[in-house]
Amino acid sequence: MESKSKEFLLELLSTPSPSSMEMGIQKKWMNYIKPYADDIRTDHAGNVIGVLNPEAEFKVLLAGHCDEIGLVITKIEEDGFLRFSKMGGISPKVAVGMKVDILGYNKRITGVIGANAEHHGGVKDKVEFEDLYIDCGARSREEIAQFVQIGDLAVYKREPEWLMDRYISGRGLDNRTGAFIVAEVLRRLSGKDLNVGVYAASTVNEETNLGGAYFAAAGVNPTMAIACDVTFATDYPGVNKSKYGDVKLEHGPVLAKGAPINIKINQLLENAAKSLNMDVQYELTPRNTGTDADRMRYTGQGVPVALVSLPLRYMHSPVETASIKDIELEIDLLVHMIEQLKGTESLNPLED
């Protein structure tokens, strides 16, 4: 991976972007793609879409959501402690003992999520969010209220780190890696003679309501759409592979199979992988995907969708871990597939 691209990935992973507060990361994403896009669009949801070949009738929408899971402040206690709930799928067990960055209305401040000492009984076996609090060092409600109010958001205070120079670990790889992949696909396709229009979208709100995906697809009205997200790797101790499948880091991108997925887009992806001599993995999504693909599919007159995912260990924890090799392979796969499109392909599964 080029050093400039690697720096951009680390910048995305270091920028707080809890769902509903993605403005900062979106401005960075937009600045990165600006030299490569023929056009840049934004919308009222907060999406940013970079466009190549906007005159083409056949339009490919790539969507990677930039929002991450977070915490939301629900109450300020008299003694200055903060109560909170989740913004997206955070486990209270993982939150215990973590440092957090509170994105206060008046100041960004550090806090810690207290953990009861073992000497005093320890943490409850079935800990819930109502059992937890954030300690910012404030002595009173009045003191902390100068910086934080109810509804402010927080993220884990955790910077990305390299593991053995092959894996990247940190918070929010779900799915700022997807936003990165979409940007890199656009960059690498820039200036090429394409037969189709490419609409690379960094979407918002996926972790909470999928609203960004709806706005993006409704605005673009694409011929086809591909969600670029993450999926559960199962290559670490304690995972039941018989139940959850066999997905490994460094074994390539993961294609979804199931009722929501357009079989012809998957065939295009598989043909591109074969042409590149690239291995792909599979996951099953029988009813829905749980990603932007679900909402994009139901816009306009209906949009054929596919899902290409990055294998990810420790989903929705502060130490999500992915392989740089898999990121590169996914970018290569999408670039090659789009380059091969003639713009006359039928995505109707009943047509040859």
Give the residue numbers marked as catalytic: 206
**Is residue 252 within 8 Å of 326, Cβ to Cβ?**
yes
Q: Is 191 exposed, middle or buried (0-12, 13-18, 19+ CB in 10 A)?
A: exposed
Q: How far apart are CA 291 and CA 228, in angstroms?
A: 9
Question: For the CA atoms of the chain, what is the radius of gyration?
Answer: 21
Q: How far apart are CA 55 and CA 36, in angstroms?
A: 16
Collapse the DSSP code of 61 into the 3-class scheme (helix H, G, I; strand E, B; otherwise coil) and give the result. Answer: strand
Tokens of 106: 């008046």
Bridge partners for 48 per DSSP: 42, 202
CA-nearest of 45, 75, 93 to 208 is: 45
Q: Is the dihedral of CA 136, 141, 144, 148 positive or negative?
A: positive
Q: How far apart are CA 18 and CA 8, in angstroms?
A: 18
DSSP secondary structure letter of residue 261: B
DSSP string for residues in 181-194 = HHHHHHHHHTTS--
Q: How far apart are CA 256 and CA 289, in angstroms?
A: 8
CA-nearest of 26, 21, 23 to 72 is: 21
Tokens of 259: 């009722």
